[in-house]
Structure 1
Amino acid sequence: MEQINVKIKQEKGRIDKVLSDVLKNHSRSQIQQWLKDQNIIVNGEVTRSNYKVKEHDEISINVPEPEELNVIAEDIPIEIVYEDDDVLVVNKPQGMVVHPSAGHQHGTLVNALLYHIKDLSSINGIIRPGIVHRIDKDTSGLLMVAKNDKAHVALAEQLKDKTSLRKYIALVHGEIAHDKGEINAPIGRSKNDRKMQAVIEGGKPAVTHFEVLERFDGYTLVQLQLETGRTHQIRVHMKYIGFPVAGDPLYGPRKTLKGNGQFLHAEVLGFKHPTTGQMMVFEAPLPDLFEKTLDQLRNNN
């Protein structure tokens, strides 16, 4: 087991934030897990996650050995849009879960990645190797994946600092009158249904920008840009302003367009390359079913 020693000089704040700033190759979520597992000692004593560091504090971190991956690699076709030694960009199909969980042990993007990609970052453990961010099972589109821990930290920092680019296309119920808008409403777990998120007082800040692309009879096609990345953010925000995503089984109306889930697609993904610093932007076309549905709406108009 590796040990990392840190002496606080003049840093201030919560220990997880301070250590994530000092230890550039380790994410804040990883440090929070070490705190939870009591692997971080301050001045000879196990500390809590909300501890605020003080000048001259001596911190020892017992870094556990990486767990051997035991998620099964599966020969599942995936569309790799881009790949190099640090990152890859994948166009995830609708219906595919990103990583294994209690209800989805097989057929996930991670199962496929383990088969096709030799190296993936270990920061998120054995269940989510390489996964920097997620999109919902029935949302299609672009995801960035890290092939090593250094790249993972760099990409995660861009998400945290809101410097990455994420644009989505959604077909929503109703005809939005404004051509552009911003939804700034905090999101947290719903008090009525633990499986759902909702706009609630005291939730985490969440900001979504939208622009109308096309209007139909009873529906609107919009492009949305995420400023934050909360769970189900677009789906929750669009329901909140009265224009739920079509086909959404959780946040939309029962009477909706036929499909395989919500008509939501991660169309554009941009980030600075973790090694070269070059801005890279990728775009994925709408799935066939999405395009056919739009054609039908145009014909109905």
Structure 2
Amino acid sequence: MMGTSLYLPVVILLMQCSPSVPVTVTTNRHKVEVEEHKDAVLSCIFYTEKDQQPRIEWKKKGKDVSFVFYGGKFRGPFEGRATIEGATVTLKKVTQEDAGEYRCEISAPKDSVSLGETNVTLKVLVPPQTPLCEIPSSAVTGSVVQLSCRDQHSIPPATYSWYKDNQPMNPPRHANATYLINSRTGVLEFKSVAKEDTGRYSCLASNGVGLPKMCEAKHMTIEYSHSKAWCAVRVHEGMLLVKAHALTPRRSFWISQCHGAAHISSQTLHRAEDMSNVNYIPPPQEPQDFKHTQSFML
């Protein structure tokens, strides 16, 4: 009994002499990521030395520092759409306007250290929107063709994948591939399109937030460029028309169209053009034609 009575005063003395902890402020999450239109919890945990009723303030950093919670009330756009428990704030249905850096400040005038603070960064995630796809309706074989796909609103930025006739187009794994896909920019590029590239193309945007979105599929037709047979026939017809002295714009058009076809010999084209420069001389009229065009005196 004697030992117990001596022990209690020692414990009380140690408690009175032990150093107290001045105001300290911390958080259990310095970075908060939440999907748009959902609730965000900004935690603030504090301990004080003596002051049992410290002043709690929340501020948002930006070009200017604005008050979120001050004087026991939420301010500005946070009024009516935020709650506080202890010093932890819950923002309701956040939008991109709420994204940014917040600071929790605890002021305890009765403590030896009267002010403490902690920062919390809020990132608001946005799922993909339906991407804008630019897909040409037609192209000619052998040409370079680009299809583009982009969504400028998703956070983090979306990545893109392409589909042809509802089947995924796998990113090429070798240097000789006929097309390239940039999943970051959304560009699908054909180095040299072929007839078999004809089909319906669509693009899918995804960023791990919400559901991926796909643009409406569009049909792209790959047509043969002016073939050897087509050009040969048209140039030949043009040369026949020149020989017949029928200089028509259509013949010149055929020749000009075939200038881009490497498989038509330059000699053939130059010959056709040279012939087109021959001055037109009308053929002599047959004797019997004079009876229709002239009169004679008997």
Given the two structures, how large is their TM-score scaled by the length of structure 2?
0.22
Given the two structures, how large is their TM-score scaled by the length of structure 1?
0.22
- Of the two, which has the highest radius of gyration? 2
